[in-house]
Amino acid sequence: MGIENKIVNSLPEVLTTRLDWVVNWARKSSIWPATFGLACCAIEMMAITAPRHDVARFGAETFRASPRQADLMIVAGRVSKKMGPVLRRIYDQMPEPKWVIAMGVCASVGGIFDNYAILQGVDKIVPVDVYVPGCPPRPEGLIYSIMKLQQKIQTESIRNRPDSPIVLDEPALVGKEA
């Protein structure tokens, strides 16, 4: 039926697909994480790039020291309240589209550090896509979270990303916020 049948019949070297699917496939297959190691979880985060675990198998091995070149922030470790504004600024410096993984219980909910100095979950300042439990999570756990994130990316649309700040600019939402 329709135009794609005609194309397939007359031009067998042409494939048709949805634009969303292709763009998401490209995005999920080449995630560039920003290095945001804050504590012991960062050691496990480094381990995923090493030969034994080798996150390159999932296309996410290119860690970038500059947020301008990254699209995934792996918050690895407890975020102190003094670090909070710094983390938010680095998140804001990352270009869209961007995702956040809260690695370990400290980044997720504060963990054992239920005290005055530590932010009780990084989702208080940036939107988090995947939470990884563990103290610290094993490298397999972090790789699994990247695979989960890839599944999530595949379901997104280039028109309307749920966590995108562009959505917040819509008049209805801004009015609700005020």
Cβ distance to other proteins smaller for residue 116 or 172:
116
Helices 139-154 and 19-28 pack at an angle, to 10 degrees, of 160
Min dist CB 117 to other proteins, Å, is: 7
Name residue, tokens 């600024």: 89
Min dist CB 123 to other proteins, Å, is: 18
CB 90 within 8 A of CB 81: no
Q: How far is CA 92 from the centre of its chain?
A: 14
Q: Which residues bind other proteins (CB under 8 A)?
A: 81-82, 114-117
Task: Give the residue from 30, 4, 26 showing the smallest Cα distance to 15.
Answer: 4
Min dist CB 51 to other proteins, Å, is: 38
Cβ distance to other proteins smaller for residue 114 or 169:
114
Min dist CB 82 to other proteins, Å, is: 5
Cβ distance to other proteins smaller for residue 32 or 113:
113
- Which token pair is 67? 């947020």
